[in-house]
Structure 1
Amino acid sequence: MTRPFIAVPAIRASKISALRFSGVVAADKICEAIYRAGGDPFLLPPGGEVAERLRYAHGAVVPGGADLDPATYGQPRDDRTEDTDPVQDAYDIAFVQALLGAGLPFLAICRGMQVLNVAQGGTLHQHLTETTVAHRRGMHRVTLESGCATALAMGGEDFAVSSYHHQALDRLGTDLRVVGRADDGCIEVVEHRYAPVLAVQWHPEDDADTAGHQQGLFDSVVAAADSRRRGDSPAGLADALRA
């Protein structure tokens, strides 16, 4: 079986067990979800010309991670913004811009969705006001717009999701539209008006091995990537899911 190659931007880590020096990592659960979907995940560490390094990729998953430096979206730093990595920030933004430029299908998760928004000129809330919704650590409800690509991928419009974030989208970037929110109004899902992109604020990889609706997000992106590999790429993920 020939699998589409799914790029994952690696996260820089100052310390990794069994290594004497710093390294780069990706979450096992993300790689496992990609493989279950029929894709072959490969890590691309920060560095080099991103668009050129993506030439072998058919799609991508942009994972969660640390806070983005507010300087990337033109804001002063809030005291509650946590440690940031300017090298990682610049790389992830360039990675997303390269994906959009190449028309590669991708899934953006948590920080990945925030990177997408910033890459498109949007801004973030640096710290969410506490509500009854367990954004920082827990499960909460998300409601999706009927007929959106994300709802098609997940097979429904109302789900409990595994959440871990304290920042969220504020002003939307160019060509992005909101298609899902939490009960407190927090933006949880955006899609690109033209590019084959799914973007969610929660962590679908947490329970994708037992929850088919979460695995469906990976399945849809890998299916679109496989269409691209075969030279039969549809205009967007919604088209791929309706095919």
Structure 2
Amino acid sequence: MKLLQLFLAFGLFFCVYSVSVIADTDSTCTLKPQETLTIGCTYECGFFNEWAISSQAKELNYKVKTIDLTQNKTLLTQLDGVIIPGGADIHPNWYNTHLEDPYRSQLKNLASFYKKTPEGPRRDQFEFDFLKQYFQHPQSTTLPLLGICRGMQALTVSQGIPLYIDIKKQLGIPNRMYTLDKVSITDDSSLIKQLFSQEKFWAVELHHQALNLDYFNQYKNRWPHLKLSAFSNDHKIVEALEFKNRPILGVQFHPEYTFGHTRTQTFSWLLTKACEHKNQKQKTILLSKGDQ
């Protein structure tokens, strides 16, 4: 089954590549020749993320290393960028306990649609602990974070927003299993519009959950720092979540599986912001030494 899925995925990759515009990968941020960017993944980075990072770093003339944060006790201050990769479902207990009715009752009735895996509970605890630290740490305000698929969902839940536990059941949309969706950018001032330029693009999807747009729209005054900037499936599925006060980009699609403009621009943004963050850290250290 996995081999078949891989073949299907490759078919989608090359389909997307054929209709994508190759990105301009020039970066205004430079590193000293001996310096290396450290990108931490909150779970296994995975072959395609590592490949996308390394190939884009080469284009930008950066040295880069990736680490699995679950296997390496790395301080937040030692990181230059973070990826929360795709993966297992988030347990609904992380987002349903504080909800108002009818949302809480709906989730309780739909609990059987949660797909239990060994990976999920381990990642839930680790990633929400990590995000709590990330949002509280004073030096992380310039640390870039890219959330992919589950990663965007983790960012969503960390802000008190629930998920659609199953989009087929709740929205009547077939679950997105190695699907190619057309994504529409709806905010001209958004980060994703700056990155991709065009108003629509194609991307590979692999999920059955998503940000609960009904809940967000009903209580959106709670999140003035958030921006929903791209959608698919007749504006029913949120494809991009941005933070106005931090370099955070959550995407429901998989840029690492999508060739061309979508992949290069997403990872170019992460690496360029990582470079800027690293340079800012070094300036802060030099200034603190000068004050001593």
TM superposition score normalised by structure 2: 0.67
1:8 to 21, 41, 47: 41
Q: Count residues with an aligned counterpart.
A: 214
1:62 to 44, 59, 84: 84
CA distance in structure 2 between the aligned counterparts of 1:150 and 1:100, rounded to whole angstroms:
22
Query: Does the aligned pair in 1 maintain the 2:45–2:67 contact within 8 Å?
Result: no
1:92 corresponds to which letter in structure 2?
Answer: E
1:139 to 2:180 alignment: yes
Query: Larger % of helix: which?
Result: 2
Query: Does the aligned pair in 1 maintain the 2:86–2:151 contact within 8 Å?
Result: yes
Query: Does the aligned pair in 2 maintain the 1:9–1:46 contact within 8 Å?
Result: no
Q: How does 1:1-243 map to 2 (within 5 A)?
A: 1=33, 2-10=35-43, 25-38=44-57, 39-45=64-70, 53-74=75-96, 75-76=107-108, 78-84=111-117, 85-101=120-136, 102-103=140-141, 104-129=143-168, 135-144=176-185, 145-170=187-212, 171-172=215-216, 174=223, 175-185=225-235, 186-207=237-258, 210-231=259-280
Q: 1:46 to 1:124 in 2, by over 3 A?
A: farther
Query: Does the aligned pair in 2 maintain the 1:106–1:196 contact within 8 Å?
Result: yes
CA distance in structure 2 between the aligned counterparts of 1:141 and 1:106, rounded to whole angstroms:
24
Q: Deviation digits for residues 164-187 of structure 1, max 9, x if unmatched?
A: 000000134743221010032211
Runs (5+) with no aligned partner, structure 1? 11-24, 234-243
2:163 corresponds to which letter in structure 1?
Answer: L
Larger CA deviation: 117-126 vs 72-81: 72-81
Runs (5+) with no aligned partner, structure 2? 1-32, 58-63, 97-106, 217-221, 283-292
CA distance in structure 2 between the aligned counterparts of 1:229 and 1:47, rounded to whole angstroms:
20
Residue 232 of structure 1 deviates from its aligned partner by: 7.7
SS in 2 for 1:198: strand
Q: 1:7 to 1:168 in 2, by over 3 A?
A: same
SS in 2 for 1:195: coil
RMSD: 2.3
Q: 1:35 to 1:99 in 2, by over 3 A?
A: farther
**Once superposed, which parts of structure 1, at least 4 consecutive aligned residues long, lie more than 6 Å away?**
none
Query: Does the aligned pair in 2 maintain the 1:134–1:163 contact within 8 Å?
Result: no
TM superposition score normalised by structure 1: 0.80
SS in 2 for 1:230: helix
- Alignment identity in percent? 24
CA distance in structure 2 between the aligned counterparts of 1:230 and 1:169, rounded to whole angstroms:
34
